[in-house]
Amino acid sequence: MTASHLLGLLEPRLDPATREWLSRAGASSSGNALDASAFLEAFAMAGRRLGQKPLGTPEDTLAGLGLSLAPDTRTPALLGRVALLLRAQERLEPEGYEALVAACYRSGDNGERQAVLKTLPLLHHPERFLALARDACRTHVQPVFEAIACENPYPAAYFPESAFNQLVLKAVFTGVPLARVVGLERRHNSELARMAADYASERRAAGRDVPTDLTLLSPGASA
């Protein structure tokens, strides 16, 4: 997906002034060069300028563009930020772009981090951002964790087995339905089944309920 595809979906839903702001957001005044400071400012301002009210965008429309989002995250702010990141990718050399994406994530608020994580699968050579994606799995901020763990093909495509297993178990710990973890059936493995069985045993020994989703991780569950 390119920025123009996403902007074509988003811009008709914006008022003229907001469309104009989005069209020049992050651009410097010197030719086609991208001013990183201006871009970061625009990326941060997108929440206020574009709005946080979810759009009634059909899931299959976004999926056709390669972007899968839960209904409550389909906001103009998130879609605009994804478009800004895709547009910046077209204008920067790889090293400069990697630094820009990292800055958007490291200095961003939760909404900005969610947008970065949702953009990762759409980028050129997305494996470059593996460390950033794994860092997101360590967060205690549930919406940020869900941005990488849920409706996101990146972990199944690029995480090593140990990291993918940790993500899946954290999803269980935090109450995220495993149906939202893309590629779980394909990435299911014996170590994950063992970890799930150990966790279930610990829960039973403590007299606690065992999450129903753990049955999806039992040996042979992916068969």
Please compute the mean of the pLDDT values over residues 16-27 and round it to a whole number.
Answer: 85
DSSP string, 164-195: HHHHHHHHHHTT--GGGSTTHHHH--HHHHHH
Is the domain of 162 the same as that of 76? no
Q: Residue 222: its pLDDT value, please?
A: 55
Tell me: the pLDDT tens digits for 119-157? Answer: 999 999 999 999 999 999 999 999 999 999 999 999 999
Is the domain of 177 the same as that of 213? yes
98 or 35: which leads in pLDDT: 98
pLDDT at 98 over 60: yes
Q: Report the predicted TM-score, pTM, of the whole model to 2 decimal places.
A: 0.92
Domain count, the chain: 2
The residue segments making up the domain with residue 179 are: 153-223
Judge whether 48 lies within some domain. Answer: yes
pLDDT at 101 over 50: yes
pLDDT more than 90, % of the chain: 74
Phi, psi (deg, nearest 5) at residue 53: -80, 125
Q: Of 132, 165, 200, at which residue does a domain stop?
A: 132
Is the domain of 113 the same as that of 3? yes
Cα distance between residue 58 and residue 69, in whole Å: 10
**How far does CA 158 lie from the centroid of its chain?**
13
Is the domain of 119 the same as that of 157? no
Tell me: the pLDDT tens digits for 74-85? Answer: 999 999 999 999
| Closest-CA residue to 117 (of 81, 163, 75) | 81
Tell me: the pLDDT tens digits for 24-57? Answer: 885 543 445 788 899 999 999 999 999 999 988 7
Q: Residue 26: its pLDDT value, please?
A: 52
pLDDT at 17 over 70: yes
Judge whether 137 lies within some domain. Answer: no
Q: Residue 29: its pLDDT value, please?
A: 37
pLDDT more than 70, % of the chain: 93
Is the domain of 163 the same as that of 82? no
pLDDT at 65 over 90: no
Is the domain of 164 the same as that of 67? no
Is the domain of 22 the same as that of 94? yes
Query: 3-class SS at 27?
Result: strand
Is the domain of 89 the same as that of 3? yes
Cα distance between residue 94 and residue 102, in whole Å: 12
Judge whether 144 lies within some domain. Answer: no
Judge whether 142 lies within some domain. Answer: no
Is the domain of 24 the same as that of 60? yes
Q: Of 100, 132, 164, at which residue does a domain stop?
A: 132
Q: Residue 32: its pLDDT value, please?
A: 59
Cα distance between residue 50 and residue 75, in whole Å: 8
Is the domain of 121 the same as that of 157? no
pLDDT at 23 over 90: no
Cα distance between residue 188 and residue 172, in whole Å: 14
Q: Residue 30: its pLDDT value, please?
A: 43
Other beta carbons less than 10 A from residue 51's beta carbon: 16
Judge whether 162 lies within some domain. Answer: yes
Q: Of 132, 164, 195, at which residue does a domain stop?
A: 132
Judge whether 143 lies within some domain. Answer: no
Is the domain of 124 the same as that of 186? no
Is the domain of 157 the same as that of 128? no
* Averaged pLDDT of the chain: 91
Judge whether 147 lies within some domain. Answer: no
Judge whether 81 lies within some domain. Answer: yes
